[in-house]
Amino acid sequence: MLVSSLYSIHRDLDILVLATELSGIEQYREATSGAYVYPVLREKSNDYTRSLDVLAEKNGTDILHIEHEYGIFRDGLGLLSVVEEAKKERLAKKVIVTLHTVYHPSSGRSDALFFQKNLRARAIDEIIVHSRLQEFELEAQGVPMDKITRIPHGTLINPYISAPRDTLCKSLGIKGEWLSGIILVTPGFIRPDKGLDVLLNALTSIRFPYTFIVAGEFRDTKIKELVENNNNTIVIEKYLSHDEILKLIALSDMLVLPYKDKPGTYSVSGILHLSMGSLRPIIGTRVPRLIELYTRAPRMCVTPGSAKDLEKRLNWAYDNYDLATAYMSELYAYAARTQWIRMARRHLVLYKKVLS
Predicted confidence (pLDDT) per residue in 339-351, tens digit: 999 999 999 999 9
CATH architecture of 165-337: 3-Layer(aba) Sandwich (3.40)
pLDDT of 75: 64
pLDDT of 78: 81
The CA distance from 212 to 252, in Å, is 9
pLDDT of 243: 93
The CA distance from 287 to 195, in Å, is 12
Superfamily assignment of 2-154+340-355 in CATH?
A: Glycogen Phosphorylase B; (3.40.50.2000)
Reported pTM:
0.93
Rounded (10°) CA dihedral 84, 90, 92, 96: 40
> Which residue type is seen at 203?
L
Residue 29, C-beta contacts closer than 8 angstroms, at least 6 positions apart: 35, 36, 37
165-337 has the same fold as 2-154+340-355:
yes
pLDDT of 122: 78
Average pLDDT per block of 10 residues along the chain, 356 residues long: 90 88 78 84 79 93 93 76 92 96 95 89 92 97 96 97 95 93 92 93 95 88 88 89 94 97 95 94 98 97 97 98 96 97 97 95
pLDDT of 326: 95
pLDDT of 68: 92
Domain ranges of the chain: 2-154+340-355, 165-337
pLDDT tens-digit series, residues 106-141: 999 998 999 998 888 778 999 999 999 999 999 999
Q: At what angle do helices 77-88 and 110-117 cross, to 10 degrees?
A: 20
pLDDT of 28: 86
